[in-house]
């Protein structure tokens, strides 16, 4: 029947096949002649040695040096690994971008690597350059020739994100990992900075990086700048939450007292809640994770957030309305306000979040609607962001990764770059949710307060999408803190839990939907507004009806895939479309791939240790034939004339490509263009192609896993949704897919009532 709905199809991974894909070497002109580069670097080493001797900075036995690459030499193949092979006391410990003005006066940016070494390591590098034993080694010559300089990070390069009026406040300090001198490093930090120990909190991680939250002055920052092992220092704003006001004159809708609760549990980290009000009673458990007394404004905020997770937006609801039993239950974890009056900018809250997530492996979906004010800084990563990305990634192989949905912040009406998204919404393994409001003519528009992108490297497209957040004249209606009352507010604080509410509903409808499949589906179905920039909306406006997300039509079908890629593995995902080459007119194929990757705090410019490269192959029998110095020919090997031409070409020295022709043709861009245009290293891919049906034959998408930063053994988990829309397909494409691929099955849409258990 026309317009008939069918459940989306799962288990596409059962047809995924590993393939061997050859990489093509790219020859790149080295910017410096080797002898000139060698002499310049020897001069750099002499300057560094002199600065160490005169103690221009505060040094320990282990020193941090900077290897500055020339622009366009940021691909992983240009990492200066040859230098580390000179001595066991030389190692790379991270990287970032640096900026300079070239000889023509034009601003440039390039890659900088941090190198940890000792005086002996510096001497060994100097000797390797002077004795000439490596002068004939090509890899050594190329790496030396691609280096702009080796030096120390300047004091001003270590300080980022401060405005000219900053005099005092809370900052986050990041220290490089030292092998055996961490205690000496912390001791020297306190002596040089002159910051009292009582005004700091220190957190160290297994990878060696140290985070310090400190209340300090401008003079303290000036002292800190002279520490050689200082990686970065940036300001941290005060906690920001959306204000909540009473909504008088309207009583809350009614809901059945809970005798049962959903087995799908959402964790909410916030300022607490009032679980005794009818809208929350029996559906919310409250946990105090900090010993400070609850604050009424924070409780009102957290109560509203919990209510949104359970019931969505209550606008238009009155006492006469009867709410459905929520699809999820909530564990409310109060992590605000902070106990310490000097406000160590959320370190106490972050500790509570870490401890809770590790202690509650049963919870796989979380909401965070608070964070420090202040736009993200590209060259530094907050501890908050890193913790959430690490908690998402570090689960047993057979476990489900948790998903964090985070509000992007409410400073979108400030001038750029102060209106960029705020930590931890820049996390690469979760959702950063912005807000839209409703214009007077009924159109959806980006809420002017909603922070914009771009995000950081690894998640450049942020926010992920926009969800309703309300406005002054059309507010978001939430649960009040006293029984049977409603409150009003507006902000990304409520757009994020509304997205969580939708993912919870998807999970309630089908056991096939895990949180990260829900993340993938919401991004896959988000609608782009052509009047908005990508920085404003990310992947678009979130879909409203979750039933539409879980359903297909006869001629528009969505298939789900999920799996884990081994290091450097390439797999082929078939696009299931029987007889698609017989279709008249256009066919649209859309795919979204979301990944969970290993984060690397040591290099904000290479924060994602691994990624997926995708390639679309529309026709399995169209190949390119090439001959060096002559040119290329594209031939369809189902065409008899083309088959004859192919034979002649092969007889005259042409070679047939290993794989069919991709669409669009993959260009051999350098790393800079791949990141800017193809979004390489991002954790989310969303693309589409529209082609004539006759141009398609057993189309497929390949996914290729890539690693960097020495993390070649890291696992990479992916979730994919592929939609095929063929309006002029003869018959039902949906039925044809299921008839031809017996291992594919529609997801089971279940009765939500089956989710409920007796409350504990």
Please determine, for residue 751, whether its predicted confidence score (pLDDT) is greater than 60. Answer: yes
Please determine, for residue 671, whether its predicted confidence score (pLDDT) is greater than 90. Answer: no
Q: CA of 90: how far to CAs of 52, 70, 119, 218, 703, in Å?
A: 17, 21, 10, 34, 35
Flag the least confident range among 12-21, 289-298, 632-641, 658-667: 658-667
What single DSSP character describes residue 509? H
Q: How crowded is residue 77: how many other Cβ atoms within 10 Å of its Cβ?
A: 13
Percent of the chain with pLDDT over 70: 94
User: Whose CA is closest to 694, among 617, 590, 587?
Assistant: 587
> What is the distance between the alpha carbons of residues 45 and 65, in angstroms, rounded to a whole number?
10
H or E element at residue 268: strand 265-270
Q: What burial letters (b/e) apply to 283-299, b meaning 16+ CB within 10 Å?
A: bbbbeebbebebeeebb
Joined tokens for residue 339: 């106990």
pLDDT of the residue at 740: 97
> What is the distance between the alpha carbons of residues 369 and 307, in angstroms, rounded to a whole number?
13
The CA-based angle 617-618-619, given to 5 degrees, is 100
pLDDT of the residue at 78: 84
> What is the distance between the alpha carbons of residues 372 and 406, in angstroms, rounded to a whole number?
12
What is the average pLDDT value for the chain, to the nearest integer?
92
Joined tokens for residue 227: 């520490």
pLDDT of the residue at 711: 57
pLDDT of the residue at 344: 47
pLDDT of the residue at 714: 73
Q: CA of 141: how far to CAs of 35, 41, 86, 354, in Å?
A: 9, 12, 14, 46
pLDDT bucket at 675, cuts 50 / 70 / 90: very low
pLDDT of the residue at 669: 47
Q: What DSSP string describes 237-250?
A: PPEE----EEEEEE
Higher pLDDT, 397 or 514: 514
Region 183-212 average pLDDT:
91
pLDDT digit string (tens) for 446-485? 999 999 999 999 999 999 999 999 999 999 999 999 999 9
Region 608-627 average pLDDT:
94
pLDDT bucket at 36, cuts 50 / 70 / 90: very high
pLDDT bucket at 523, cuts 50 / 70 / 90: very high
Flag the least confident range among 82-96, 340-354, 538-552, 560-574: 340-354
Region 237-260 average pLDDT:
83
Higher pLDDT, 221 or 241: 221
pLDDT of the residue at 345: 56
Please determine, for residue 365, whether its predicted confidence score (pLDDT) is greater than 90. Answer: yes
pLDDT bucket at 338, cuts 50 / 70 / 90: confident
H or E element at residue 350: helix 347-359
Distance of CA 394 to the CA centre of its chain: 15
Phi, psi of 170 (to 5 degrees): -95, 135
pLDDT of the residue at 707: 85
Q: CA of 670: how far to CAs of 99, 138, 610, 706, in Å?
A: 19, 21, 18, 15
Region 23-43 average pLDDT:
85
Percent of the chain with pLDDT over 90: 79
Region 233-246 average pLDDT:
84
> What is the distance between the alpha carbons of residues 45 and 515, in angstroms, rounded to a whole number?
51
pLDDT of the residue at 419: 97
pLDDT digit string (tens) for 131-178? 999 999 999 999 999 999 999 999 999 999 888 889 998 899 999 998
Joined tokens for residue 135: 């002068």
pLDDT of the residue at 760: 45
pLDDT of the residue at 340: 62
Q: CA of 731: how far to CAs of 15, 88, 556, 710, 737, in Å?
A: 24, 67, 12, 51, 11
Region 549-566 average pLDDT:
96
Higher pLDDT, 346 or 698: 698
User: Whose CA is closest to 519, among 504, 534, 538?
Assistant: 504
Higher pLDDT, 28 or 512: 512
> What is the distance between the alpha carbons of residues 402 and 395, in angstroms, rounded to a whole number?
9
562 Cβ contact partners less than 8 Å away, ≥ 6 residues apart: 13, 517, 717, 718, 719, 720
> What is the distance between the alpha carbons of residues 368 and 447, in angstroms, rounded to a whole number?
19
User: Whose CA is closest to 708, among 596, 611, 615?
Assistant: 611
pLDDT digit string (tens) for 563-597? 999 888 999 999 999 999 999 999 999 999 999 99
Please determine, for residue 341, whether its predicted confidence score (pLDDT) is greater than 80. Answer: no
pLDDT of the residue at 122: 97
Please determine, for residue 665, whether its predicted confidence score (pLDDT) is greater than 60. Answer: no
């Amino acid at each position: 029947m026309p317009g008939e709905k069918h459940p989306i199809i799962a288990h596409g991974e059962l047809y995924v096949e590993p393939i061997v894909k050859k990489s093509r070497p790219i020859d790149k002109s080295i910017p410096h002649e080797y002898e000139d580069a060698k002499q310049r670097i020897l001069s750099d080493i002499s300057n560094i040695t002199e600065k160490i001797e005169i103690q221009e900075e505060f040094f320990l036995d282990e020193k941090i040096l900077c290897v500055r690459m020339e622009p366009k030499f940021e691909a992983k193949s240009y990492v200066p690994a040859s230098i580390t092979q000179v001595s066991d006391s030389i190692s790379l410990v991270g990287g970032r971008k640096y900026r300079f003005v070239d000889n023509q006066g034009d601003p440039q940016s390039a890659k900088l690597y941090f190198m940890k070494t000792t005086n002996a390591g510096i001497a060994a590098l100097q000797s390797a350059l002077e004795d000439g034993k490596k002068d004939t080694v090509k890899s050594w010559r190329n790496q030396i020739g691609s280096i702009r300089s080796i030096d120390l990070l300047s004091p001003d390069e270590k300080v980022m994100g401060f405005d000219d009026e900053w005099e005092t406040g809370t900052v986050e300090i990041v220290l490089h990992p030292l092998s055996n001198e961490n205690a000496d490093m912390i001791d020297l930090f306190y002596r040089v900075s002159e910051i009292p120990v009582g005004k700091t909190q220190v957190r160290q991680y297994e990878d060696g990086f140290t985070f310090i939250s400190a209340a300090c002055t401008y003079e303290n920052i000036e002292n800190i700048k002279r520490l050689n092992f200082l990686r970065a220092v940036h300001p941290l704003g005060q906690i920001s939450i959306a204000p909540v006001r009473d909504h008088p004159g309207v009583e809350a809708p009614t809901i059945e007292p809970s005798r049962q609760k959903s087995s799908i549990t959402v964790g909410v980290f916030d300022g607490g809640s009032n679980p005794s009000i009818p809208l929350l009673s029996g559906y919310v458990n409250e946990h105090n994770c900090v010993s400070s007394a609850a604050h009424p404004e924070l409780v009102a905020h957290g109560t509203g957030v919990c209510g949104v997770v359970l019931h969505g937006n209550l606008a238009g609801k009155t006492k006469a309305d009867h709410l459905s039993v929520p699809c999820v239950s909530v564990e409310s974890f109060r992590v605000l306000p902070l106990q310490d009056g000097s406000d160590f900018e959320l370190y106490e809250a972050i500790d509570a979040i870490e401890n809770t997530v590790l202690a509650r492996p049963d919870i796989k979906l979380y909401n965070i609607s608070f964070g420090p004010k202040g736009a993200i800084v590209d060259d530094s990563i907050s501890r908050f962001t890193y913790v959430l990305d690490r908690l998402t990634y570090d689960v047993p192989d057979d476990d489900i990764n948790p998903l964090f949905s985070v509000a992007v912040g409410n400073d979108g009406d400030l001038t750029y770059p102060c209106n960029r998204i705020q930590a931890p919404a820049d996390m690469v393994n979760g959702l950063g949710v912005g807000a839209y409001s409703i214009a007077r003519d009924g159109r959806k528009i980006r809420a002017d307060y909603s922070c914009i992108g771009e995000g950081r490297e690894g998640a450049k497209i942020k926010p992920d999408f926009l969800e309703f957040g309300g406005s002054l004249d059309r507010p978001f209606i939430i649960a009040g803190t006293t029984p049977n009352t409603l409150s009003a507010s507006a902000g990304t604080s409520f757009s994020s839990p509304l997205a969580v509410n939708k993912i919870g509903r998807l999970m309630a409808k089908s056991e096939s939907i895990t949180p990260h499949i829900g993340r993938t589906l919401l991004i896959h179905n988000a609608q782009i507004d052509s009047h908005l920039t990508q920085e404003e909306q990310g992947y678009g406006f979130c879909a409203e009806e979750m039933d539409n997300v879980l359903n297909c039509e006869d001629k528009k079908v969505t298939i789900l895939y999920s799996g884990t890629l081994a290091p450097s593995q390439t797999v082929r995902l078939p696009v299931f479309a029987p007889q698609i080459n017989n279709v008249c007119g256009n066919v649209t194929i859309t795919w979204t791939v979301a990944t969970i990757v290993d984060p690397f705090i040591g290099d904000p410019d290479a924060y994602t240790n691994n990624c997926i490269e995708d390639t679309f192959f529309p026709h399995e029998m169209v190949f390119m034939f090439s001959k060096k110095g002559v040119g290329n020919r594209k031939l369809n090997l189902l065409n008899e004339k083309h088959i004859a031409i192919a034979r002649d070409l092969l007889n005259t020295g042409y070679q047939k490509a290993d794989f069919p022709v991709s669409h669009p043709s993959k260009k051999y861009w350098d790393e800079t263009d791949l990141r800017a245009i193809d979004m390489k290293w991002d954790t989310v891919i969303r693309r589409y192609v529209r082609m004539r049906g006759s141009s398609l034959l057993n189309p497929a998408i390949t996914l290729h896993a890539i690693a960097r930063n020495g993390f070649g053994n890291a696992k990479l988990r992916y979730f994919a949704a592929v939609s095929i829309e063929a309006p002029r397909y003869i018959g039902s494409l949906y039925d044809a897919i299921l008839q031809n691929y017996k291992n594919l099955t529609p997801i089971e849409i279940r009765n939500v009532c089956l989710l409920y258990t007796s409350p504990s």
